[in-house]
Amino acid sequence: MAPKAAKGDVLQQKSPAEFFADNRTIAGFDNPGKCLYTTIRELVENALDAAESISQLPDVDITIEEISQTRLNKMRGVTSHDRIDEELYQDYETEDAKQKRLAREAKELEKLEKAAAKSGSTAAVDAKRKELEAKRAAQASRGEKTFYKVTVRDNGMGMAHKDIPDMLGRVLSGTKYGVKQTRGKFGLGAKMALIWSKMSTGLPIEVTSARRGSASRSYFKLDLDIQRNQPNVHESKLLDNPDGWHGAELSVVIAGSWTYYRAKVIKYLQQIAVITPYAQFNFAFNAEDEKNSLALRFARRTDTMPQPPKATKHHPSSVDLELIKRLASSTAASSLTSFLAKEFDCIPRDLAERIVAEVRCDPSTAPAELTPKQIVALHDLLHQLRFDPPDGGHLSPAGEYNLRLGIMKELRPEMVATHQGAVGVHEGHAFIVEAAVSVGGKNIKPGLNIHRFANRIPLLFEGGSDVVTRTALKRIGWSSYKINQNSDKVGVFVSLVSTKIPFKGAGKEYIADDVEEIQAAVRAAIQACCLQLKSKIARQQAAREQRQRKKNLTKYIPNVAAALFAVLETVAEQRGDENAAKRRRLEPDHALVVNGVRSGEVTEAKLAAKLQEHVEQIDVDMALEYQLQQGITDIAKVDAHLMPAAARHAYGPEQHCGVGVIRLLRAL
Ligand SMILES: Nc1ncnc2c1ncn2[C@@H]1O[C@H](COP(=O)(O)OP(=O)(O)OP(=O)(O)O)[C@@H](O)[C@H]1O
């Protein structure tokens, strides 16, 4: 007998919007701070997709306006009242508790001041004072929360007036579901921002948008009916578009935490500037208190934009039963043969005919009339056959040039190497891995600094589980490339592009480490960069060692000269002592030096100068020898011509040095 349903077990259904509202974490909307970060990120990525899809160099303006609870209440038409019963509030403190707290704080401060007097550093005292001040300010604001109006404006393709409500007010709706490399994929991001704004402030989203060449701009104020998963339009109108603007501007008011996520937001902007150096980002944080405001500009560094990604067809080895059914019912092809040739990648007509024969179907069968059994047979067959892999021509990697440029611009490393791997395939989807490894630079910590990108989105969270982090930490023998992974300032940049990135979760925060093909490609790309750096590092190390050796030798010259001169003086003074002279039979060269000391021609200063000259010579000889070892003598022999300063000139004497010959010109 089936178990009886408990009294409360009522069958319920959830709309997708309700599901994601209940499980915000899946989409990267964890706590208020993270929600602020993810909102910015989703809107910025939509802006970039929109500009790139029309081959427009992206201009993205991001503004965050801080809004106090009192101001938010005014916007919502809620009146703020004075408190009637203080004791009801979370921040209520009895007089007794307040006195105790003040005494405790004073004690803590006194202790820190005493320690500071001893150590001479007041840093800890200052930090404590700041903390107490912040606490006092929070108390004075009576636990008021802070809210943020996030506005992102772009110069992209814009949205059609009639589509805006569905695109932004219906979860799981979008234009990026095809087989194409895009930053967005799930049809969720902008709607999650709206859901969060509904949950935290109750305010709708405002959208202004225009398509290219449009005489009007669309304006919408809308929210999302979470239970029904459908847009709820508050206001819509068409405005004039006198300057022919195209793009979109979206504004949401949400709860957040700038203080805790400030660093992450800035890092995200820096990273997106690295991977999209052809975009310009203007960022402004407008605080309630002007002194806390911040403005950043990430200028465009190049007008060279990677070729935009192209939509491609499904690769036959990656399709599932449902997809075949869907394609069969929606295709314009009238026969099974043309269906296979038209709807799938890597199936030319002749192969399509052979497949149809193999599946034992009538080639003229209309795809929509395939029986469930025939579809199962076709599916099984497609997974058994051998097809050419996708060629990757539809992908749009950042390009080594852009990657290098972005890194140079943001980090200014001492050296950087880049590499783009060959096209790989995972579940029928082509992918390309690009990598860069840099050494040195500003604002970079010693050790491995790993930067991850997927479809040109920076990934900042869950790094520990990501394929790039794991590969860099565990699968690369850094020392064999003369890189010290603990003390050198190493930047590792890996960018993966594909029509399907195996993200774990809709929040797109990290890429699984369990896809062998991707793992191997990441490893190979990092290794290729390291190999390029190895010889540069070796050269740099040798030069450094040489400089150090020269420095050490030079340091001892005064002492050695003094000691040597003292010995020579002693020998010179033994002129009259016949027995001593007999005992000390001098080599002719040495006798010359001793005589020089006697005559005053050889002095301590002259000895020091000679030693210095010798050290310089060793330096030059070693440099030459090193170059010979490195086999770069040909480079040293390359002729270099300088423009004479005057039209009439004569050749001067040649100057020979260890590494080359310089012939000077004399103007006549
Ligand atoms: N700035 C914009 N310009 C033009 N179209 C936009 C813009 N923002 C959103 N859209 C449209 O709205 C759709 C839904 O956007 P949304 O952020 O919800 O999902 P997505 O970008 O498709 O996927 P994901 O959830 O992976 O980010 C997009 O597919 C796009 O067509």
165 lines ligand 1 (CB under 6 A): no
- Residue 653: the pLDDT is 64
Residue 658 has pLDDT above 80, yes or no: no
Confirm or deny that 184 is annotated as ligand binding.
Answer: yes
Q: Where are the domains of the chain?
A: 16-75+145-298, 316-384, 399-629
Question: Helix axis angle, 349-358 relative to 336-343, nearest 10°?
Answer: 130
**pTM passes above 0.90:** no
**DSSP string computed for 570-620:** HHHHTTT-HHHHHHSPPPHHHHHHHHHHHHT-S-HHHHHHHHHHHHHHHHH
How does residue 130 score in pLDDT terms, banded at 50, 70 and 90? confident
Closest CA to 229 of 203, 199, 191: 191
Q: Is the CB of 27 under 6 A from ligand 1?
A: no
Is 85 labeled as ligand-binding?
no
Q: 97-128 pLDDT, tens per residue?
A: 889 988 998 999 899 888 888 887 888 888 88
- The listed CATH number (3.90.79.10, 1.20.1250.20, 3.30.230.10, 3.40.50.300) that belongs to domain 399-629: 3.30.230.10
Band (398; pLDDT cuts 50, 70, 90): confident
Residue 581 has pLDDT above 80, yes or no: no
Least confident of 362-371, 537-546, 575-584, 613-622: 575-584
pLDDT band at 8 (very low <50, low <70, confident <90, very high): low
Ligand 1 pocket: which of 176, 191, 455 to mutate (most atoms <8 Å of CB)? 176
Cβ 502 under 6 angstroms from ligand 1: no
How far does the centroid of ligand 1 lie from the alpha carbon of residue 159, in Å? 9
Fold held by 316-384: Helicase, Ruva Protein; domain 3 (1.10.8)
50 ligand 1 Cβ < 6 A: yes
* Atom 7 (ligand 1) nearest CA: 46
Ligand 1 in reach of 224 Cβ (< 6 A): no
- The residue written with tokens 């106090």 in the block is 68
Where does residue 462 fall: left (phi above 0), alpha (psi -120 to 50 degrees), or beta otherwise? left
Average pLDDT over residues 647-665: 61
CB of 151 within 6 A of ligand 1: the answer is no
Residue 647 has pLDDT above 90, yes or no: no
pLDDT band at 12, cuts 50/70/90? Answer: confident
Measuring CA to CA, which residue among 276, 314, 257, 328 is closest to residue 500? 314
Tell me, what's the pLDDT at 443?
A: 80
Cβ 423 vs Cβ 391: under 8 Å: yes
Q: Which of 447, 471, 449 is nearest to 525 (CA)?
A: 471
606 is in an annotated binding site: no
Q: Which fold has domain 16-75+145-298?
A: Heat Shock Protein 90 (3.30.565)
Looking at per-residue pLDDT, the higher value among 649 and 307 belongs to: 307
528 is in an annotated binding site: no
Pocket test for ligand 1, best of 46, 176, 183, 503 (most atoms within 8 A of CB): 46
CA 13 – CA 92 distance, rounded (Å):
42
For residue 655, what are the β-bridge partners?
662
- What is the spatial distance between Cα 451 and Cα 441, in angstroms, rounded to a whole number? 15
The pLDDT value recorded for residue 402 is: 82
Residue 191 annotated as lining a ligand binding site? yes
From 262, 267, 260, 253, select the one nearest 285 (Cα to Cα). 262
Instruction: Give 46 Cα–ligand 1 centroid separation in angstroms.
Output: 5
Residue 54 near ligand 1, beta carbon < 6 Å: no
Structure tokens at 131: 């903390």
- Identify the sign of the CA torsion 555, 556, 559, 564: negative
**Ligand 1 mean position, distance from CA 238 (Å):** 21
Q: Looking at ligand 1, which atom is closest to the CA of residue 47?
A: 1
Quote the pLDDT of residue 223. Answer: 94
Give the per-residue pLDDT at 590.
Answer: 80
Q: Provide the percentage of residues in the chain whose pLDDT is more than 70.
A: 89
370 lines ligand 1 (CB under 6 A): no
ipTM of the complex: 0.99
Is 70 exceeded by the pLDDT of residue 662? no
Question: Is residue 138 over pLDDT 90?
Answer: no
CB neighbourhood size of 132 (10 A): 15
pLDDT band at 405 (very low <50, low <70, confident <90, very high): confident
